[in-house]
C-alpha cells in the first residue's frame, strides 16, 4: 500500500541525492494511507504541551515515501541542530584528516650562550583543542613539553624578550554579536581568536552562603588570571531556585562580574564561565612553564590586539607593532587531533566553541578571513557544492547559539540527504550521538537497545526550543531504507520534560518503519 506524500520526492533520493533540488509542499492525496507516525504528529500538534507553539516535522525514506510531515518548510530556530550543518560542511570541505596547526616562531638572534635576544611567538592556527580537556588532544604538560623541545633543539636557553600569544590567524570579533548577553559570559558562549587555551573557559568553584541573601562563595580555580579583576555580586537564593549564576565580561577590558543567585540547597560545584583572553592566557602559562623548566623569560607574556603587542590586557593598544608572521623564524609546531575526532566531540557533547571554530576555519581556508562575514560566504559555497542551496535559510553562527538562525525541517532533510553522498559520510554519521549516550543520555529511555542503536541524531535545545534531526538506520542495513528526519519545536511554554517524551515517541514510531 502506497503511503501518502507531503512533498514530491524521487523514489531513490538517497541514492541520487535528488533532495538537492527545492521541492514543493503538497497536501496528502485524498484517501492516502497515513503512517502511525503521521497520525501521531497530527495528534500531538494540538496537545497541551505544544499548543500555540511551532511544530515542524519531515521524515522520508529512500523509497520516496513521506513518513511524517507537518509544516516542513517553516523556518525555525534550530538551536544546536545547526551543528549538523557546520560539522558536515567542515568535514566535506576540509576532509576527515584535516588538522589545525600551531607553530612556534622567534624574532631575534640567538647568542653563543643560548640567549634569544628577541621575542618568542606562539602562532595560533585556530586549534580549539590546545590545553583542553579533550582526551584526544595533547595534555597541557605534553603540549608545552613539545614546544619547549623546539627551543632546546634550537639551542635557546633563555629569552631576552616576551612570550607572545598570536591569535591573528582568526580576524574579526571573537564572538557573534547576536548571542545573548548572558550566554557570552558562559563557557558555552565563549569566543576566541586563532589561539585558544583550555577552550577559553574559566572555572570557578561556587557554593551557597549560609542563608538566602548572603553572598555566594566563589573562588577562581583554573586558569588563574592575575590580570583579571573578578567581582562577585551574586547572592544565595531560596531553596528550589536552582543555579542562576552568570558572568558578565568582555575582551575589551579585563573585568568580570558574577551576578545572579545560587540556591541555598544546591551542592557546591564548579561553574564554567568564559575567558576572553585565550591567547594571553596561553602565553602566560607557557611563560610560567619555561621558567619552571630553567628557561628565563625577561619580558613576560603578551598577546596581539589591533596589530600591536599588549603586555597587559588592561593597557591600551599603544605598544609596538607585532612582527609579521612571515618575518619570523619558525622552529616547528604541533598538530591538533584529526577533524574526524574534533567533529565527533563537537556533536557528541554539543561543543559550541568547537563548532564556531569550524565555521571560522571555513572562512579562513576558502576566503583567507575568519571573520563571520567571510565564514558565512564560505559556508554557503560548501552547501551549494553539496547541492543544499542555502538561499532559503538564515545561518549566522556555527553553533546555533544565536536566535537569529532560521532553518526548516525540509532543509535539514535535504542537507542530511546530501551528506549521504559525501565521501566523509561514514565519519559524519559516526559523529552523531545515539539515544542513551552523550547529549542524548535521557532520550528513548525504556526502549530496546536494538531501536536506540539504529538512531543517529543531533539534539538542540534552548528556552522554548527542542529539536532532533538525523538518521534512522534500517535494521538490515539497506541504504535505500534509511530514514532521514527533522523534528523542530519552537516557542513551547511547556518544559522539555513534557515536550521531550512526545518527540521520543515520534522517533520510536519512525524507527518502526524500517525495523521491528
Weakest-pLDDT range from 11-15, 62-66, 281-285: 11-15
Q: What are the angstrom distances between the C-alpha of 99 and each of 95, 129, 339, 343?
A: 9, 11, 6, 12
Give residue 31's pLDDT. 55
Domain with CATH 3.50.80.20 in the chain: 99-337
The answer to whether 31 and 437 are in contact (CB under 8 A) is no
* CATH code given to domain 99-337: 3.50.80.20
Q: Which residues make Cβ contacts (< 8 Å) with residue 172, sequence separation at least 6?
A: 369, 370, 371, 372, 373, 374
**Given a cut of 80, is residue 290 above it in pLDDT?**
yes
- Cα 446 to Cα 339: distance, rounded to the nearest angstrom: 34
**CA–CA separation, 252 vs 193, rounded Å?**
14
Q: What is the pLDDT of residue 431?
A: 97
Q: What is the DSSP letter of 138?
A: P
Asked whether 119 and 107 are in contact (CB, 8 A), the reply is yes
Would you state the pLDDT for residue 29?
52
Please check whether the domain covering 13-96+340-511 is classified as CATH 3.40.710.10.
yes
What is the rounded CA–CA span in Å between residue 395 and residue 224? 35
Closest CA to 50 of 25, 70, 27: 70
Per-residue pLDDT averaged across 349-356, rounded? 97
Q: Could you report the per-residue pLDDT of 99-151, keeping only the tens digit for each? A: 999 999 999 999 999 999 999 999 999 999 999 999 999 999 999 999 999 99
The CA angle 511-512-516, to the nearest 5 degrees, is 120
pTM for the full predicted model: 0.93
| 170-181 average pLDDT score | 94
- How high is the pLDDT of residue 63? 77
Give the Cα separation of 208 and 210 in Å (integer): 7
Say what percent of the chain tops pLDDT 70: 93
**CA–CA dist 301, 323 (Å, integer):** 15
pLDDT in tens, 12-56: 333 333 333 333 333 445 556 899 999 999 999 989 999 889 999
Q: What is the pLDDT of residues 72-100, one digit of tens each?
A: 999 999 999 999 999 999 999 999 999 99
Provide the 10 A C-beta neighbour count for residue 381.
Answer: 16
Per-residue confidence (pLDDT) for residue 16, from 0 to 100: 36
Residue with cell 564556531: 356
- Does the pLDDT value for residue 1 go beyond 50? no
- Give the three-class secondary structure for 445: coil
Angle, CA of 443, 446 and 448, to the nearest 5°: 100
Q: Are 42 and 55 in contact (CB under 8 A)?
A: no
Instruction: Note the helical H segments in 294-371.
Output: 339-348, 352-367
Task: Please give the Cα distance from 239 to 478 (Å, whole number).
Answer: 53
Question: What stretch(es) of the chain map to CATH 3.40.710.10?
Answer: 13-96+340-511
Q: For the segment 306-330, what is each residue's pLDDT rounded down to a tens digit? A: 999 999 998 876 789 999 999 999 9
Amino acid at each position: 500500500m502506497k503511503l501518502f506524500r507531503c512533498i514530491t520526492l524521487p523514489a531513490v533520493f538517497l541514492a541520487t541525492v535528488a533532495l538537492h533540488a527545492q521541492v514543493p509542499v503538497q497536501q496528502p492525496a485524498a484517501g492516502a494511507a497515513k503512517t502511525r507516525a503521521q497520525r501521531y504528529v497530527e495528534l500531538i500538534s494540538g496537545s497541551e504541551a505544544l499548543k500555540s507553539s511551532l511544530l515542524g516535522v519531515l521524515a522520508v525514506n529512500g523509497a520516496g515515501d513521506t513518513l511524517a510531515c507537518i509544516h516542513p518548510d517553516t523556518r525555525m530556530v534550530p538551536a544546536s541542530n545547526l551543528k549538523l550543518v557546520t560539522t558536515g560542511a567542515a568535514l566535506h570541505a576540509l576532509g576527515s584528516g584535516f588538522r589545525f596547526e600551531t607553530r612556534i616562531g622567534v624574532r631575534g638572534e640567538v647568542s653563543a650562550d643560548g640567549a634569544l635576544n628577541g621575542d618568542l611567538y606562539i602562532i595560533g592556527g585556530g586549534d580549539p583543542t590546545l590545553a583542553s580537556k579533550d582526551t584526544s588532544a595533547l595534555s597541557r604538560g605534553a603540549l608545552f613539553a613539545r614546544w619547549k623541545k623546539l627551543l632546546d633543539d634550537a639551542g635557546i636557553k633563555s629569552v631576552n624578550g616576551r612570550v607572545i600569544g598570536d591569535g591573528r590567524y582568526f580576524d574579526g570579533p571573537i564572538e557573534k554579536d547576536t548571542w545573548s548577553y548572558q550566554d557570552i559570559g558562559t563557557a558555552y558562549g565563549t569566543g576566541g581568536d586563532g589561539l585558544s587555551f583550555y577552550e577559553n573557559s574559566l572555572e570557578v568553584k561556587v557554593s551557597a552562603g549560609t542563608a538566602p541573601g548572603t553572598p555566594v562563595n566563589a573562588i577562581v580555580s583554573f586558569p588563574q588570571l592575575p590580570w583579571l579583576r573578578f567581582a562577585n555580586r551574586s547572592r544565595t537564593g531560596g531553596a528550589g531556585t536552582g543555579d542562576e549564576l552568570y558572568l558578565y565580561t568582555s575582551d575589551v577590558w579585563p573585568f568580570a562580574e558574577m551576578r545572579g543567585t545560587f540556591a541555598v540547597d544546591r551542592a557546591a560545584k564548579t561553574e564554567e564561565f568564559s575567558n576572553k583572553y585565550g591567547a594571553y592566557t596561553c602565553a602566560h602559562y607557557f611563560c610560567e612553564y619555561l621558567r619552571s623548566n630553567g628557561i628565563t623569560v625577561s619580558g613576560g607574556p603578551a598577546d596581539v590586539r589591533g596589530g600591536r603587542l599588549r603586555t597587559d590586557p588592561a593597557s591600551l593598544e599603544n605598544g609596538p607593532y607585532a612582527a609579521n608572521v612571515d618575518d619570523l623564524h619558525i622552529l616547528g609546531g604541533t598538530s591538533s587531533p584529526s577533524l574526524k575526532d574534533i567533529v565527533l566531540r563537537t556533536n557528541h557533547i554539543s561543543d559550541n566553541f568547537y563548532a564556531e571554530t569550524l565555521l571560522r576555519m571555513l572562512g579562513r581556508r576558502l576566503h583567507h578571513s575568519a571573520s563571520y562575514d567571510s565564514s558565512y560566504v564560505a559556508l554557503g559555497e560548501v552547501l551549494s557544492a553539496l547541492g543544499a542551496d542555502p538561499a532559503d535559510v538564515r545561518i549566522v553562527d556555527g553553533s546555533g547559539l544565536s536566535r537569529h538562525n532560521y532553518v526548516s525541517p525540509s532543509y535539514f532533510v535535504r542537507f542530511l540527504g546530501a551528506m549521504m553522498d559525501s565521501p566523509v559520510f561514514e565519519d559524519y554519521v559516526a559523529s552523531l550521538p545515539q539515544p542513551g549516550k552523550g547529549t542524548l543520555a535521557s532520550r528513548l529511555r525504556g526502549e530496546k537497545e536494538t531501536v536506540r542503536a539504529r538512531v543517529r541524531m543531533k539534539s538542540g535545545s534552548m528556552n522554548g526550543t527542542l529539536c532532533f534531526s538525523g538518521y534512522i538506520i534500517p535494521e538490515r542495513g539497506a541504504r535505500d531504507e534509511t530514514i532521514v528526519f527533522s523534528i523542530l519545536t519552537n516557542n513551547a511554554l511547556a518544559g522539555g520534560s513534557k515536550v521531550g517524551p512526545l518527540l521520543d515517541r515520534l522517533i520510536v514510531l519512525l524507527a518502526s518503519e524500517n525495523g521491528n
